[in-house]
Structure 1
């Protein structure tokens, strides 16, 4: 891949450890993809929606890490809706092997297992 793609990672705060593993994996030299992570590491105290929208606009695409915590993660669900409103390519990634409920906010965007080929295809396509 010639240029790193800028990807916003939408995740429930309860899944921060998984997000760290997901983004860290892209730094592994054996991983067939790489991207610049634009996710919000700490919740903003004020005007967070404006700041997040700016990050999403600067991104080539959005990956939503989907778990059983997602339905209650109002911030994550808003981020997914914002990405859809901005016309950004979206991909849902299942991070909980027993949870497979797709958030309505993802619309027609695909959801996939966390595999290198699936993530590579999305990152290289945006």
Structure 2
């Protein structure tokens, strides 16, 4: 399928959703796990990972991060006890709200949940499961 076909509707296949994953750097292993699992052929959904993969200087980070969030279809926030104290992740949540992106808060541990940051007030919060991820991604 060419870009012309996709833009003008000649091919009805849907492009993968662009998902920004917000997380505490202390939880990077969970972000990596989510991205790797999503590549499995048995996974019921597909997405392109738009999360920040390298540190940048503060001003550059905010500018590049906002640009990535603007290009995304939705944002998944990986929630843990570390999230409340993760200034970068909290800024990403504020940015996603300002850009009016659909946001899903997802607890990474079922029995050891952290406090939900105020930036997620009014947003859907779920436990990590394929069904919850598929529902969010398919509805954006």
Q: Give the TM-score category using the shorter length.
A: over 0.9
Deviations 1:32-90 (A, max 9, x none): 01100000011212421011000000000000000000011000000011000110000
Bigger CA radius of gyration? 2
Separation in structure 1 between the aligned mates of residue 126 and residue 92 of structure 2, nearest angstrom: 19
Q: 1:105 is matched with which residue: 100, 119, 123?
A: 119
Question: What secondary structure, in the 3-state scheme, does the structure 1 residue paired with 2:104 have?
Answer: strand
CA RMSD in angstroms, aligned pairs only: 1.2
Between the two proteins, the alignment pairs up a number of residues equal to: 126
Between 1 and 2, higher relative CO (CA 8 Å, sep ≥ 6) is seen in 1
Separation in structure 1 between the aligned mates of residue 114 and residue 136 of structure 2, nearest angstrom: 19
Residue segments in structure 1 that go unaligned for 5+ positions in a row: none
CA contact (8 A) 1:68 1:96 kept: no
Residue segments in structure 2 that go unaligned for 5+ positions in a row: 1-12
Moved over 2 A (4+): none
